[in-house]
Amino acid sequence: MPENSVSADLQTESDKMVEWTDFERNTIQDIFSRIEYDVVGPAALARCLVVYPWTQRYFGGFGNLYNAAAIKGNPMVSKHGTTILNGLERAVKNMDDITNTYAELSVLHSEKLHVDPDNFKLLADCLTIVVAAQLGNEFTGEVQAAFQKFLAVVVSALGRQYR
């Protein structure tokens, strides 16, 4: 399967804690306190469905995803985008224990939703691009590194329970 994403691959083993610098912690808390979940979430999910159209396979029940305009205006996409951001907030609030915080969500995505974990990276890349647009030149290289590290840990935790 060709790799489509460049989010950093982070291997978390059950006995290895992710270490966060103060800068990384503050950056993540700051970003999530500033972004509007019901703007960024829908924008990121819509972008993912447009830029990587094969991800639409998981949203067969969402109705009209026929083109970019339809995707952007689709209320189910918007609602789900917000849901995703609220889900991310749980990781933001539990940065030292993301793996356990997401254990149930991981099982859900694997056993019930049957999402290929590679797709998490695609959404993570779109989220990075949307947050970059929101923050403009405040989205420095250092901020990007912290944000992508956070998303890599999230992606890893979500893929953890797959078997």
One DSSP character per residue, 16-78 reads -PPP--HHHHHHHHHHHHHS-HHHHHHHHHHHHHHHSGGGGGGGGGG---SSHHHHHH-HHHH
Task: Provide, rounded to whole angstroms, the least separation between the CB of residue 37 and other proteins.
Answer: 18
In single-letter form, the type of residue at position 61 comes to: G
Total residues contacting other proteins by CB under 8 A comes to 27
Q: Which stretch binds other proteins (CB under 8 A): 31-39, 55-63, 104-112, 133-141?
A: 133-141
CA distance 103 to 1: 25
Instruction: Please tell me whether residue 136 binds other proteins under the rule CB under 8 A.
Output: yes
Residue 132 binding other proteins, by CB under 8 A: yes
**Contact positions vs other proteins (CB under 8 A):** 3, 6, 8, 46-47, 50-51, 68, 71-72, 125, 128-130, 132-137, 139-142, 144-145, 148
